[in-house]
């Protein structure tokens, strides 16, 4: 890892050992499936065997009579829901559709759609009971892709879904939930002035986030009517809001305790089992524990959408992009809600382009409802536009990085959504890649190619809370409201430590439940180190002020005569009046009582993140196998709070992008049944598939944060798709517009190139 650094700090910018590391490597950390209560019952879900069918009847008499079965719930146990929308991190929830996702009512809309849930004395008994539930289905034809679902004669998933058509509702039902549009300038005229115009079509497959820990939930419905839930989640407050609304409870009646989380990447924002465990607990009066199996995770949780796209770009011979026209149709799965809007906003944000027309479509189809996956929506759109831009640069004979610099967005550049860029580091990041030895190195052999691409993610802010308490031994207890996926306990502690002049090891961080900390938005959108860090910064400054006041009281001087620097409190005028943080902490309880502080913030100055990637591949023309030989990821991180974690986040995003590009896909038969429902068949990259991924950190400080922080977790997954596709082209002479670029596609393409198509 190398770094193009700016501001230096004492704690921020170092890489201390993570606070939760020992518990995790020794097995002491408690994940969702580790939660167990005496007398617990075990819940299982009956799922639809069909991708699209009407439910004619459900008879669970035999199942309820089975020894050891204690309760069964179906959709009739959920209160009816009207259309009501809530923002949840990167997603928008409509509770009417959420209810139907949790338990099917009248229709099942994908294979794996929950139909009923059983609570029994053991998991085995619950599984046996599922086979005794008799569901009568009227099977319907499924629609599996966006273009198929958008046809006039397509089978409708919802009879009451009408298209939101740029300001008005359509007058007949459709599988198109929404049509959005961004329009800037005069695209038609601009294209007529272009010297070179390239238009291409693209598809990407449905893919999964690939977290290791399956979804889980344990619930106890207390005798006093209060509900307590333990679960693996990216946002305990999001779970509380959704469950309370679905079950028609006050949020004060629901307590959610987040466990350690074994990966999420956006996929653990939605809820699946929590309402079912709650309903079963209410019926039985016992704790109910539910854990998904891997096939359930793949078939019935929220993957990233597949999509169909068209992209047309026009440029002058001098290398100036004059116009872009794009069409994005994203698959929502069974219920509306895709990240197509994010794709529309992100795809051109690295560039300054005066004439743009982008149409986006949110399309339902017979697959599980999609969820966020690391920069949701942006990788798809970047695959399209970056591929065309690479093709344009080649046709014009301009280096692809030089081409990007000639069209680079900068501070003040207007984006397609009408907003303007604040201070950004795109040009610096491109230049760092342009100047790097990797870009100039020899490929060293035949059938090898090098590819490049860039990516953008806006990053998020939003509500966050943090509480600090000074202990008498000089340590500080820290409670944050953000579930820790990528090391936020360390990064939040380090920002507070920087304020107080203490080592990060002096902090004891934990993640609070919904009763223990102020409201905090979900962990997602690359918001936590920025927003929750902002709360920690404010709370730490409050602690600092209180300690100055306390020292002034102890010494009997005015607080204006007391200074605090690097954990040392002293008098401006009397060198003899001097204490360390630890020395003052020892006296607090006896000289005025404990010192603690809380801060709740909703900062709006999140700085956008840019990534530029260079990748080398080797393609075996006989087998179609693609080996990634070398990868260098450049990213503007604002300020790397914990550089080792930042490097790990970037490497993780690249690894997932490699899988997305080369192997991963949901493979369905014509009846809508997923055929690769295990991690043996759903092919994610392993260590042997990956090179050592080099990282170059570019630090263009975000002026909206006291330490210049920009979120880092999302954008590294954006460039791999087009960068690897570009590298494969340069190795084979064939451009690929459909993902994944798996061996069979490569072999078929090379046979076509030779005129040997079978």
Same domain, 684 and 561: no
Q: What is the 3-state secondary structure (H, E, C) of 359-425?
A: EEEEEECCCCCCCCCCCCCHHHHHHHHHHHHHHHHHHHCCCHHHHHHHCECCCCCECCCCCECCCCC
- Asked whether residue 46 is assigned to any structural domain, the reply reads no
Quote the pLDDT of residue 3. 60
- Asked whether residue 522 is assigned to any structural domain, the reply reads yes
The average pLDDT across 376-386 equals 98
Label residue 460 by pLDDT band (50, 70, 90). Answer: very high
Same domain, 466 and 574: yes
Quote the pLDDT of residue 92. 85
Same domain, 618 and 717: yes
Rounded to an integer, what distance in angstroms lies between the CA atom of residue 543 and that of residue 580? 14
Same domain, 589 and 710: no
- Asked whether residue 149 is assigned to any structural domain, the reply reads no
Examine the fold and report which residue of 601, 636, 664 is the final residue of a domain before the chain moves on: 601
- Is the pLDDT reported for residue 700 higher than 80? yes
The average pLDDT across 204-226 equals 97
Rounded to an integer, what distance in angstroms lies between the CA atom of residue 504 and that of residue 738? 46
Examine the fold and report which residue of 562, 579, 601 is the final residue of a domain before the chain moves on: 601
- Is the pLDDT reported for residue 57 higher than 80? yes
Rounded to an integer, what distance in angstroms lies between the CA atom of residue 758 and that of residue 753? 12
Same domain, 531 and 512: yes
The average pLDDT across 734-750 equals 97
Rounded to an integer, what distance in angstroms lies between the CA atom of residue 316 and that of residue 321? 7
- Those residues with Cβ within 8 angstroms of residue 77's Cβ, 6 or more apart along the chain or in another chain: 103, 279
- Is the pLDDT reported for residue 419 higher than 80? yes
Same domain, 647 and 747: yes
Domain that holds residue 449: 429-455+607-758
Label residue 6 by pLDDT band (50, 70, 90). Answer: low
Rounded to an integer, what distance in angstroms lies between the CA atom of residue 333 and that of residue 363? 8
The average pLDDT across 300-315 equals 98
Same domain, 568 and 489: yes
Question: Which residue, 338, 336, 380, 359, is CA-closest to 175?
Answer: 336
- Is the pLDDT reported for residue 756 higher than 60? no
Same domain, 595 and 611: no
Same domain, 643 and 578: no
- Asked whether residue 623 is assigned to any structural domain, the reply reads yes
Label residue 758 by pLDDT band (50, 70, 90). Answer: very low
- E strands in 512-666: 562-565, 568-571, 578-580, 596-601, 609-619, 626-636
Examine the fold and report which residue of 567, 601, 635 is the final residue of a domain before the chain moves on: 601
- Asked whether residue 72 is assigned to any structural domain, the reply reads no
- Asked whether residue 221 is assigned to any structural domain, the reply reads no
- Is the pLDDT reported for residue 492 higher than 80? yes
Q: Report the number of distinct structural domains present in the chain.
A: 2
HSE toward the beta carbon, residue 705, CA cutoff 13 A: 34
Same domain, 568 and 657: no
Whole-number CA gyration radius for the chain: 27
Per residue in 666-690, pLDDT tens? 999 999 999 999 999 999 999 999 9
Quote the pLDDT of residue 4. 55
For residue 200, is it left (φ>0), alpha (ψ between -120 and 50) or beta? beta
Q: What are the φ and ψ backbone dihedral angles of 746, each rounded to 5 degrees?
A: -65, -50
Per residue in 607-652, pLDDT tens? 999 999 999 999 999 999 999 999 999 999 999 999 999 999 999 9
Label residue 658 by pLDDT band (50, 70, 90). Answer: very high
Rounded to an integer, what distance in angstroms lies between the CA atom of residue 262 and that of residue 34? 12
- Asked whether residue 317 is assigned to any structural domain, the reply reads no
Per residue in 228-260, pLDDT tens? 999 999 999 999 999 999 999 999 999 999 999
Alpha carbon separation from 470 to 464, 478, 579, 634, 652 (Å, rounded) = 20, 9, 15, 39, 35
The average pLDDT across 44-55 equals 98
Cα 142 off chain centre by: 28
Structure tokens at 738: 């459909």
Quote the pLDDT of residue 227. 98
- Is the pLDDT reported for residue 757 higher than 80? no
> How does DSSP assign 670-683, residue by residue?
TTS-BS--STTTS-
CATH number for the domain including 542? 3.30.365.10
pTM: 0.97
Same domain, 612 and 747: yes
Same domain, 594 and 621: no
Q: What are the φ and ψ backbone dihedral angles of 405, each rounded to 5 degrees?
A: -65, -35
Give the chain's mean pLDDT: 96
- Asked whether residue 705 is assigned to any structural domain, the reply reads yes
Per residue in 355-377, pLDDT tens? 999 999 999 999 999 999 999 99
The average pLDDT across 172-201 equals 98
Q: What is the dihedral of CA 409, 413, 416, 419, to 10 degrees?
A: 130
The average pLDDT across 109-133 equals 98
């Amino acid at each position: 890892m190398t770094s193009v650094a700016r501001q230096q700090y004492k704690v921020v910018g170092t890489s201390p050992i993570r606070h939760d590391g020992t518990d995790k490597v020794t097995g002491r950390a408690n994940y969702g499936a580790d939660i167990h209560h005496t007398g617990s019952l075990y819940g299982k879900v009956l799922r639809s065997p069909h991708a699209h069918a009407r439910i004619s009847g459900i008879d669970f008499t035999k199942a309820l009579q089975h020894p050891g079965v204690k309760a069964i719930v179906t959709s009739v146990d959920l209160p009816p829901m009207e259309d009501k929308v809530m923002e949840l991190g990167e997603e928008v929830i409509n509770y009417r559709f959420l209810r139907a996702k949790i338990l099917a009512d009248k229709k099942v809309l994908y294979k794996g759609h929950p139909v009923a849930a059983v609570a029994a004395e053991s998991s085995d008994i619950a599984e046996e009971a599922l086979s005794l539930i008799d569901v009568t289905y009227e099977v319907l034809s499924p629609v599996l892709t966006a273009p198929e679902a958008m046809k006039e004669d397509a089978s409708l998933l919802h009879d009451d879904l009408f298209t939101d058509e740029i300001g008005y509702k359509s007058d007949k039902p459709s599988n198109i939930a929404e049509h959005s549009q961004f329009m800037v300038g005069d695209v038609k005229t601009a294209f007529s002035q272009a010297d070179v115009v390239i238009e291409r079509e693209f598809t990407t497959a449905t893919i999964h986030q690939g977290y290791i820990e399956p979804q889980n939930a344990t619930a106890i419905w207390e005798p006093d009517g209060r509900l307590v839930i333990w679960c693996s989640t990216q946002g305990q407050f999001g779970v509380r809001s959704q469950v309370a609304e679905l079950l028609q409870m006050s949020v004060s009646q629901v307590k959610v305790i987040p466990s350690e989380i074994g990966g999420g990447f956006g996929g653990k924002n939605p809820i699946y089992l929590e309402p079912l465990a709650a309903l079963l607990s209410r019926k039985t009066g016992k704790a109910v524990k539910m854990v998904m199996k891997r096939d359930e995770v793949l078939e019935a949780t929220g993957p990233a959408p597949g999509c169909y796209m068209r992209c047309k770009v026009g440029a002058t011979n001098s290398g100036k992009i004059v116009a872009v026209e794009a069409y994005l149709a994203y698959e929502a799965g069974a219920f509306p809600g895709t990240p197509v809007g994010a794709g529309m906003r992100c795809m051109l944000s690295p560039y300054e382009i005066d004439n743009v027309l982008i149409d986006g479509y949110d399309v339902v189809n017979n697959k599980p409802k999609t969820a966020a996956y690391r920069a949701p929506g942006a990788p798809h759109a970047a695959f399209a536009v970056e591929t065309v831009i690479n093709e344009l640069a080649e046709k014009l004979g301009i280096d692809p990085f030089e081409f990007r610099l000639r069209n680079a967005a900068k501070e003040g550049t207007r984006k397609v959504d009408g907003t303007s860029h604040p201070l950004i580091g795109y040009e610096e990041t491109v230049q760092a890649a342009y100047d790097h030895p990797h870009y100039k190195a020899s490929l060293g052999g035949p059938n090898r190619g090098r590819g490049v691409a860039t990516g953008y993610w806006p990053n998020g802010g939003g509500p966050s809370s943090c509480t600090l308490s000074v202990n008498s031994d000089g340590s500080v207890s820290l409670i944050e409201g953000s579930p820790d996926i990528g090391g936020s306990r360390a990064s939040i502690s380090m920002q507070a430590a920087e304020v107080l002049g203490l080592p990060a090891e002096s902090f004891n961080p934990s993640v609070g439940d919904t009763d223990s900390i102020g409201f905090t938005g979900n962990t997602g959108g690359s918001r936590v180190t920025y927003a929750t860090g902002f709360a920690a910064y404010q709370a730490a400054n409050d602690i600092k002020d209180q300690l100055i006041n306390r020292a002034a009281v102890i010494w009997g001087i005015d607080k204006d005569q007391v200074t605090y620097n690097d954990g040392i409190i002293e008098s401006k005028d009397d060198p003899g009046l001097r204490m360390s943080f630890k020395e003052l902490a020892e006296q607090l309880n006896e000289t005025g009582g404990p010192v603690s502080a809380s801060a709740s913030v909703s900062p709006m100055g999140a700085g956008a993140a840019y990534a530029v990637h260079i990748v080398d591949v080797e393609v075996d023309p006989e087998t179609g196998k693609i080996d990634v030989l070398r990868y260098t990821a450049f990213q503007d991180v604002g300020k790397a709070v914990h550089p080792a974690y930042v490097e790990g986040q970037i490497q993780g995003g690249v690894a997932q992008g490699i899988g997305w590009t080369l192997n991963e896909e949901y493979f369905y038969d014509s009846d809508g049944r997923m055929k690769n429902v295990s991690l043996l068949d759903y092919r994610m990259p392993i260590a042997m598939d990956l090179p050592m991924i080099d990282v170059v950190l570019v630090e263009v400080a975000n002026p909206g944060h006291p330490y210049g922080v920009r979120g880092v977790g999302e954008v590294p997954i954006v460039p791999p798709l087009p960068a690897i596709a570009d590298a494969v082209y340069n190795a084979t002479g064939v451009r690929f517009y459909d993902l994944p670029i798996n061996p069979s596609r490569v072999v078929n393409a090379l046979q076509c190139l030779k005129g040997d198509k079978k």
